[in-house]
Structure 1
Amino acid sequence: MPDTFLNHTPTKKAHTLTIVADSNIASLSDFFNAHNLAGAAETVEIITCAGREITADFLANIQPDVLLVRSVTPVNETLLADNNSVRFVGSATIGTDHIDQAYLKARGIAFANAAGCSKHSVAQYVLTAAFTLRPEYWHDAPTLGIIGLGNIGSTLALYAKDLGWQVLGYDPLLPVSDVNNSTLDEVLQSSSIISLHVPLTSAQQSDYPTEHLIDAEALAKMHKDTLLINSARGAVIAEADLLADIAKTERQVVLDVFEHEPTIAAQTSDALSIATMHIAGYTLEGKLRGTQMIYDALCQTLGLPIVQRIEPLLPANPYHWAALKDAPQLLPEFYDIMQDDAALRAVVTEGQVQGKDFDGLRRNYPLRREWAFAAF
């Protein structure tokens, strides 16, 4: 192992690789153990805690070599300025807006995320929400508008095409294609369903900022019957504008992410057709795939062979996309999204969902299964 990777403090045990990890990352010990990281250190110490508890002071007391996070932990100069030990950061998430990649690069800290790990999980969440609210779409094909055609958006398009739906896609960062075929206005004005799959960016970060992309002006362009689904980032939608629009149009809206999460005002959840607790990607397959990806990246950083795979960790899967298409009435068995909606609404107290309760639901979420697919 290169000497540049580990920078031990005098109190750290020799030949120990210390990992601080969000406790919500799946199967940590199955991947990050001395056997699977043989050659990096004699022993591996994994210290887990809630992602929001990973602070600068916490890391200063531990001086870890490796930091593994999810989306609730901002990794930036504030977190790491006083820390000289971290040499690898892995985020078991598709999104990276919580990571200051420029800062990590300047510090020489290796970084990897889990791009695409839950693309099928999230696409299946969107389909479940749509079919739950509008079961007629099993036989009356709607027009699906997709804003953002990265890993998730493009996967959702594959499912929609497999169902015979018309797809209108918009992604200004990608070349025109059979899916990336529309302007933003065309998607807003002509879709029966609009699903958001963009990162959260500001005007300072991008020529095509997504913060409050869906505001009063955008909402006014949608037909009042257009179903809006957001499983990307909460602040892509201006919440105040959304609530005003719902009050006016009675639009059906599904949110898995919220502008002010982990706190959610009861006024917001009450207005929604389906509200869930940022769990669109929370399947067993998606979680394990995310852990696999950051484990693989750490092995590559350390020059180690990859010896652990997710397949031995997955039990048999009874849920198959082809079977669901043949028997749509099985949808609640595949994924009963209204159970998640009810769980979130059950923790509303004093006019809001408290942050600790929102995080608790996510931390203790019983991972569902992805629907196995053969066609794509």
Structure 2
Amino acid sequence: MIYSVKTFNNINQIGLKELGNQFQIDGDKAENPDAYIIRSQNLHGVEFPTNLKAIARAGAGTNNIPIDEATAAGIVVFNTPGANANAVKEAVITSILLSARDYFSATSWANTLSGDDVPKQIEAGKSQFAGSEIAGKTLGVIGLGAIGARIANDARRLGMNVLGYDPYVSIEAAWSISSHVKRVNDLKEIFSNCDYITVHVPLTADTKNTFDANAFALMPKRTTLINFARAELVDNAALFEAIEAGVIKRYVTDFGTEELLNKKGVTVFPHVGGSTEEAELNCAIMAGQTIRRFMETGEITNSVNFPNMHQVLDAPYRITLINQNVPNIVAAISTAVSDLDINIANILNRSKGDYAYTILDLDETDEAKIQQLVDLFTSSDHIVKVRLIKGKK
């Protein structure tokens, strides 16, 4: 079976080779593809084609995808967590170092000089940019996932004291974090005790405006704030007041808006934190691998709207179902199978919010009976999407 994949933006072609020969890459011309692979393409307000089963975001953030609408349509949305983590880590460490010595202002000043005596002017004026070293200073890391954990570890190696906050840190991430990183249980400890703060959390209703007037009021004078996560985590009006009051020495962000440009104490990068050749390749490879595994087996890895689902396909047929998370749905699925005198080899059902995903492996070789079951599921009021995958037997 050949699957159609529509790509948006510039997806690394080497990464797309991970899809294999069963996938036809149609660029942005496919009208009714099985899957999308995107980077920054904004899908809000876009009508999804009826055949679309999956969207893979070659990157970690999925704010450009209408998750609720995709879920209701039975579309599994994937991201590639950690694929660009090293690139963002290096961008943040660079920002800390540049801010400490105020290289931003120093290079701007140097480029205003002219005349034969530029060396003398530099020697006379360089003291205003003396700066400080980061060794012995305290860094607060909010969010200890793939990116935050790397930053915390490398900052420790550079001689910084590191405080980390993440009430939802995964076991895998926890194992990777240096024992010298002090975990705190209250954001106020980060706000009150750090010379530098970097944030790496998703944008949610709870995290929006994490940095507001109350947060800035707790910070010591001349704090540096670094934001390579999401623009809306910072209340800009409160930020400007904190800069004027001398609380924020510098704000470095990868998310530019007009009101941030050419502002005192603000450095804006053009959303390039994860933009390295290596990161773009890693994201494309992971996106390709994720789509291939999902389309060929129905298994889910790194989805933002459905749980991870892994089950060895060792039956003649597999049916996957995206269903509303209502009472007795699993019993109804099992009853439908038994009514057709079909044996269930394996069944796996997990829910996330209002929807659930079911993997149903069937010990049955009669294709007509299997198709009858597919038709029955398709007509069910509570089942949104049905897929039939042929096994190896």
| Pair in the same fold by TM > 0.5 | yes
SS at match of 2:291: helix
- Equivalent-residue separation in structure 2 for 1:74 and 1:252 (angstroms): 37
> Structure 2: which amino acid aligns with 1:116?
G
CA offsets 1:70-121 (integer angstroms, 9 cap, x no match): 245245xx4235x212222000111233334444344332322110111111
* Match of residue 32, structure 1, among 4, 10, 16: 16
Q: Is the 2:8–2:41 contact (alpha carbons within 8 Å) kept by the matching residues of 1?
A: no
Alignment of 1:232 with 2:229, yes or no, is: yes
Larger radius of gyration: 2
> Structure 1: which amino acid aligns with 2:248?
R
- Equivalent-residue separation in structure 1 for 2:15 and 2:93 (angstroms): 31
> Structure 1: which amino acid aligns with 2:14?
D
Q: Is the 2:9–2:40 contact (alpha carbons within 8 Å) kept by the matching residues of 1?
A: no
Report the Cα offset of residue 252 of structure 1.
2.6
Q: Is the 2:143–2:165 contact (alpha carbons within 8 Å) kept by the matching residues of 1?
A: yes
Q: Is the 1:65–1:87 contact (alpha carbons within 8 Å) kept by the matching residues of 2?
A: yes
Alignment of 1:303 with 2:296, yes or no, is: yes
Report the Cα offset of residue 139 of structure 1.
6.2
Number of the residue aligned with 1:66: 35
Alignment of 1:274 with 2:267, yes or no, is: yes
Instruction: Summarize the alignment of residues 268-347 of structure 1 with structure 2, pairs less than 5 Å apart.
Output: 268-303=261-296
Number of the residue aligned with 2:138: 143
Report the Cα offset of residue 220 of structure 1.
1.3
* Match of residue 169, structure 2, among 171, 174, 190: 174
SS at match of 1:235: helix
Q: Determine which structure has the larger strand proportion and give its number.
A: 2
SS at match of 2:248: coil
- Equivalent-residue separation in structure 1 for 2:134 and 2:251 (angstroms): 21
- Equivalent-residue separation in structure 2 for 1:110 and 1:175 (angstroms): 22
Number of the residue aligned with 1:210: 207
Q: Is the 2:9–2:41 contact (alpha carbons within 8 Å) kept by the matching residues of 1?
A: no
Report the Cα offset of residue 175 of structure 1.
7.7
Distance 1:24-1:46 versus aligned 2 partners, 3 A rule? closer
- Equivalent-residue separation in structure 2 for 1:21 and 1:151 (angstroms): 26
- Equivalent-residue separation in structure 1 for 2:89 and 2:238 (angstroms): 26
Distance 1:39-1:67 versus aligned 2 partners, 3 A rule? closer
Number of the residue aligned with 1:95: 61
Distance 1:154-1:268 versus aligned 2 partners, 3 A rule? same
Deviates further, 95-104 or 84-93: 95-104
Distance 1:129-1:31 versus aligned 2 partners, 3 A rule? closer
Number of the residue aligned with 1:46: 27
CA offsets 1:275-318 (integer angstroms, 9 cap, x no match): 101111111111111111100001102328xxxxxxxxxxxxxx
- Equivalent-residue separation in structure 2 for 1:141 and 1:236 (angstroms): 27
Report the Cα offset of residue 24 of structure 1.
3.6
Report the Cα offset of residue 246 of structure 1.
1.1
Q: TM-score, normalised by structure 1?
A: 0.62
Q: TM-score, normalised by structure 2?
A: 0.60
Instruction: Summarize the alignment of residues 112-127 of structure 1 with structure 2, pairs less than 5 Å apart.
Output: 112-127=78-93
Number of the residue aligned with 1:111: 77
Alignment of 1:249 with 2:246, yes or no, is: yes
- Equivalent-residue separation in structure 2 for 1:44 and 1:98 (angstroms): 22
Distance 1:139-1:239 versus aligned 2 partners, 3 A rule? closer
SS at match of 1:289: helix
Alignment of 1:128 with 2:109, yes or no, is: no
* Match of residue 164, structure 1, among 130, 134, 159: 159
SS at match of 2:26: strand
Q: Is the 1:256–1:279 contact (alpha carbons within 8 Å) kept by the matching residues of 2?
A: no
Question: Percent of counterpart pairs with the same letter?
Answer: 27
- Equivalent-residue separation in structure 2 for 1:93 and 1:36 (angstroms): 17
Distance 1:86-1:255 versus aligned 2 partners, 3 A rule? farther
Q: Is the 2:227–2:253 contact (alpha carbons within 8 Å) kept by the matching residues of 1?
A: yes
Alignment of 1:201 with 2:204, yes or no, is: yes
Q: Is the 2:4–2:33 contact (alpha carbons within 8 Å) kept by the matching residues of 1?
A: yes
Report the Cα offset of residue 215 of structure 1.
0.6
Query: In the comparison of the two structures, how many residue pairs are matched?
Result: 260
Number of the residue aligned with 1:85: 51
> Structure 2: which amino acid aligns with 1:20?
K
> Structure 1: any 5+ residue segments left out of the alignment?
2-14, 49-58, 203-208, 305-376
RMSD across aligned positions (CA)? 2.7
Report the Cα offset of residue 273 of structure 1.
4.0
